[in-house]
Structures are given as structure tokens and as C-alpha cells.
Structure 1
Amino acid sequence: MTVYVDDMYRYPVGQYGRMKMSHLIADTDEELHAMARAIGVARRWWQAPPRHDSHYDICMSMRDKAVSLGAVAITLRQCSAMNMLRRVTGALGAPHDAEEWATTNRRPKPEHVPP
């Protein structure tokens, strides 16, 4: 069982003014909540299913704490792929394996058909 933290802070989507954010995800919600407690993130910030994939948005100082406590750093692309895989199979899978799965199972974009 593993907790992961992505590099969303590197992209505009992860920047809120001067604050830079990352996603904190885990194989199980129990692990996710335990890590959030350990780094000082309140449970009320949990973004829960069914509206969201289970995760916390955390600032850089919390990201650093999570990594120091054993969270595995992943890319935003891997995080997205892992969440896609979990929606289909119920499990996140390993970062590289999920990314490969997402690449081979991505639905093609529909062709533009003029009106």
C-alpha cells in the first residue's frame, strides 16, 4: 500500500495566486486519511467520491512533509492515469503501469463533423 503526491504545482492548473498545489492520493482511503493527519491536513479538505476521485489538494510545505514521511512523488500525468485505472478496475496500480494502460486504453477523440 502506498501514498502518492503529484507535481501539479508545475502547471498553471496547480497554481492559485502564489500558492502551488499537488494532489495527494493513496491505494486506500485509510492510508490517504492517515497521511493527511500526519502532515496536518484537515479531513474537511478531502475531495471525496462520487464527485471527485479520492484525494486531497495540498500546498508545497505539506507535499514536502508527505514525501519525507514516505509518499512517492509521481507526475500529474501518472496521477491522472492512476485515477482513470481506479475508476475502471478499482485499484490505482503502479504509476508507470497505469500510465501505459491509459495510453493504450484512451478513447480516440471524435472526428469533427461540420454541420
Structure 2
Amino acid sequence: MSVYVDEIRDYTRVARMRGLRHTHWCHLLADTENELHAFAARLGLRRSWFQAHDIRWHYDVTPNKRALALQLGAQEADRHFVAQLMDQRRAAIGRPTFGAVPNPAAAVEVRDMCFRCPTFPLVPRALMATHIAEHHPETLEN
């Protein structure tokens, strides 16, 4: 059983849209929810900050909390490892997996979140420009 922190990312657009104070954060993940909650408590995170998104359950943590998590024994995880972890969680609840692999060249399709959509749907990166043109034409420069 282990606890992980992924890479710090810039979420300025999301933070501004939601009126959040912090603009850069990462995710605290674990093999089990119980282990995640126990570790989060050690970091001083409130249980109400837990994000129970289907298989993507996690806590958001700021750079300072990430550093503390690493000092307390969390392991660094890149996005490929996180994809593998999500695949494991899918398999654990009997859902189809996507065969996440650590080799980025083997990835079938890269998807990005469309922050203009209310539910932030994942859109294939190759189709993002088309998605913006079709669903958010008001954002395009004339």
C-alpha cells in the first residue's frame, strides 16, 4: 500500500473560474481510500476536501503540502503512473480497463479538458480546435 503525489500543474484558469485562492496544485492519491484519508490527516487536510470522483478519488494539494507529503513518505508519480493507477481502480470494480502503459508512445489518444464546458469534458487533443470552433465560437478571434 502506498501514497502518491503527481506533478504540480498550473490550474490558473480553473482557479479563476471557481474563485480559488491557489492556482498551482497536484493530487494526493493512494492505493486505498482508507490509506489516503489517514495520510491526508497527517498532512492536516480536512476530510471535506476529499474529492470522490468515481475512480479518480483524491485530494488536491498545494506545492508546500506536496513537499511535506514527500517528507512523510509519499512517492512521486508521473501522469503515466497515475493512468496505470486509474486502470487498477477500474479493474477492481469490474470496469473495462484501457491498458495504461508507462510508455507515452504507446498511448492511443491524448485528451485534454475543455475548461469552457461546464463539466470539463475530455476532448481528444487532435480535435480540440474543432471542438472550440463548434461549441465555443464566441471565444475565437475574428
TM-score, normalised with respect to structure 1: 0.68
User: Contact 2:26 / 2:60 at 8 angstroms: preserved in 1?
Assistant: yes
User: How many percent identity over aligned positions?
Assistant: 32
Structure 2 gaps, min length 5: 17-21, 94-98, 110-123, 128-142
- Which residue of 1 is the match for residue 92 of structure 2? 90
1:45 aligns with 2:49: yes
Q: Which has the larger radius of gyration?
A: 2
In structure 2, what is the Cα distance between the partners aligned to 1:90 and 1:66?
A: 26
Greater relative contact order: 1 or 2 (C-alpha under 8 angstroms, separation 6 or more)? Answer: 1
Aligned to 2:63: 60
In structure 2, what is the Cα distance between the partners aligned to 1:27 and 1:20? 24
Matches within 5 A, 1:1-115: 1-7=1-7, 9-10=8-9, 12=10, 14-15=11-12, 16=15, 19-50=23-54, 53-87=56-90, 89-90=91-92, 99-100=101-102, 106=108
User: Secondary structure of the residue that 2:45 maps to in structure 1?
Assistant: coil
Query: Which secondary structure does the structure 2 equivalent of 1:47 belong to?
Result: coil
**Unmatched runs of 5 consecutive residues or more in structure 1:** 92-96
Structure 1 residue ranges (4+ consecutive) displaced by more than 4 angstroms after TM superposition: 101-107
User: Match for 2:68: what amino acid?
Assistant: K
TM (norm. structure 2) is: 0.57
Query: Given residue 73 of structure 2, which amino acid in structure 1 is its aligned partner?
Result: G
* Cα root mean square deviation, aligned: 3.2
SS of 2:101's partner is: helix
Cα contact 1:85–1:102 (8 A) shared by 2:
no
Equivalent position amino acid for 2:36 in 1:
L
Count the aligned residue pairs.
Answer: 100
